[in-house]
């Protein structure tokens, strides 16, 4: 993947321009410290100095900071009310427990009270016009807004996703590595992620059609699921499957039960929010079994159903392990 355009302005007396891996890097004198420019949602984003006070929204986003060893920079995180299950299963549980929780609802008041200089969220991952908490508002309080790449809006629309989901993860890790001056750590993470994904991909049976897969998040009353640019779509693909809604050019979105049943998924992955009655994996499986259309699908009839935590299925550092988990599940079912 070509690295985004990056500019480092460091304390120096000279200006040096060079290019490598398709990126142009420019170094200039800057008495106030380091200035970095990265590409975020296809736009240049300049950060003056290494951020010291970061506010994040959502578990996957927060885990990216933790994976990079930046827990000490996070002065507040917010996540959905069902976050307890995600935190309990998180490899960074200790970091969550030592980081201030600013509440279940990502609001202007909560963000501003934390006095951030950098806010990491995404469209429908905290940024919403309806709440007034937008990148422009973050700039108005003197902080830098960073947008989750999986949730970048496509030009002229509110549809989200501008690149393959795992490439979005790698881009964000690399950008954060530049912004927080931990690029070596970022590169090591991305190299490890790529290797893990390749190893899982290699287990897919040669010459066999990809397994048709359906991501079931919830139903209100139509199914909320993953389109082509949401993380599950590429997780499935790399594991040897194919998302039955890969033709939807959007990330997390609503489809129809009729379309899901007609596409006859052979395997189903459920989002496990671990949040109690009505949201349990068992309740969702029963909902599928009782549904007049879904009950006849191959996945439901053959009980080819598994579940993964929410944080494994939205963009974040658990995505590569999710590929491995889905691949192991499919192989266990002979798929």
Domain range annotation of the chain: 51-194, 206-332
For 237-263, the pLDDT digits (tens) are: 999 999 999 999 999 999 999 999 999
String of DSSP letters for 69-105: T-GGGEEEEE--TTHHHHHHT-TTHHHHHTS-B--SS
Q: 255 is written with which tokens?
A: 């489809």
Residue 216 contacts residue 271 (beta carbons within 8 Å): yes
pLDDT of residue 247: 97
What is each CA distance from 132 to 56, 128, 142, 151, in whole angstroms?
16, 6, 16, 17
Q: Nearest 5°: phi and psi at 144?
A: -95, 125
C-alpha 173/C-alpha 104 separation (Å) is 25
Lookup result for tokens 């951020």: 51
pLDDT at residue 112 tops 70:
yes
Q: 276 is written with which tokens?
A: 């109690």
For 26-67, the pLDDT digits (tens) are: 333 343 358 999 999 999 999 999 999 999 999 999 999 999
- Classify domain 206-332 by CATH architecture: 3-Layer(aba) Sandwich (3.40)
C-alpha 314/C-alpha 231 separation (Å) is 6
The CATH code that applies to domain 51-194 is 3.40.50.1980
pLDDT of residue 220: 85
The alpha carbon dihedral of 310, 227, 232, 130 has a sign of: negative
DSSP 8-class letter at 205: P
210-214 average pLDDT score: 98
For 278-315, the pLDDT digits (tens) are: 678 999 999 999 999 999 999 999 999 999 999 999 99
Look at residue 335 and give its three-state secondary structure.
coil
pLDDT of residue 81: 74
Nearest residue to 244 (alpha-carbon basis) of 293, 302, 256, 202? 256
pLDDT of residue 279: 77
Query: Quick check: do 51-194 and 206-332 share a fold?
Result: yes
Q: How far apart are the first and last CA of the chain?
A: 30
The number of CA neighbours under 13 Å toward the Cβ of 63 is: 25
C-alpha 16/C-alpha 18 separation (Å) is 7
Nearest residue to 70 (alpha-carbon basis) of 179, 144, 148? 179
């Amino acid at each position: 993947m070509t690295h985004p355009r990056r500019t480092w302005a460091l304390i120096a007396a000279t200006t040096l321009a060079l290019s490598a891996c398709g990126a142009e890097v420019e170094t200039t004198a800057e008495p106030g410290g380091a200035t970095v420019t990265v590409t975020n949602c296809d736009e240049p984003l300049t950060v003056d100095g290494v951020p010291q006070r970061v506010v994040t929204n959502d578990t996957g986003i927060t885990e990216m900071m933790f994976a990079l060893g930046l827990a000490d920079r996070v002065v507040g995180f917010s996540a959905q009310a069902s976050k307890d299950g995600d935190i309990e299963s998180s490899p960074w549980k200790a970091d969550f427990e030592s980081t201030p929780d600013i509440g279940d609802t990502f609001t202007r008041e909560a963000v501003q009270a934390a006095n951030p200089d950098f806010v990491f969220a995404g469209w429908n991952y905290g940024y919403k016009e309806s709440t007034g908490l937008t990148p422009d508002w973050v700039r108005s309080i003197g902080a830098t807004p960073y947008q989750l790449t999986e949730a970048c809006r496509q030009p002229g629309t509110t549809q989200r996703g501008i690149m393959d989901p795992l490439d979005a993860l790698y881009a964000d890790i690399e950008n954060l590595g530049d912004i927080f001056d931990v690029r070596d750590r970022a590169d090591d993470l991305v190299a490890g992620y790529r290797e893990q994904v390749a190893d899982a991909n290699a287990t897919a049976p040669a010459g066999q059609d990809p397994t048709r897969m359906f991501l079931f998040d919830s139903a209100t009353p139509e199914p909320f699921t993953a389109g082509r640019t949401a993380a599950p779509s590429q997780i499935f693909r790399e594991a040897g499957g194919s998302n039955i809604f890969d033709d939807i050019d959007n990330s997390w979105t609503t489809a129809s039960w009729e379309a899901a049943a007609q596409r006859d998924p052979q395997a189903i992955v459920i989002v496990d929010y671990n949040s109690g009655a009505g949201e349990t994996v068992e309740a969702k499986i029963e909902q599928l079994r009782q549904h007049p259309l879904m009950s006849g699908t191959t996945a439901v009839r053959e009980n080819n159903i598994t579940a993964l935590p929410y944080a494994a299925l939205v963009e974040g550092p658990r995505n590569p392990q999710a590929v491995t988990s889905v691949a192991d599940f499919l192989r266990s079912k002979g798929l």
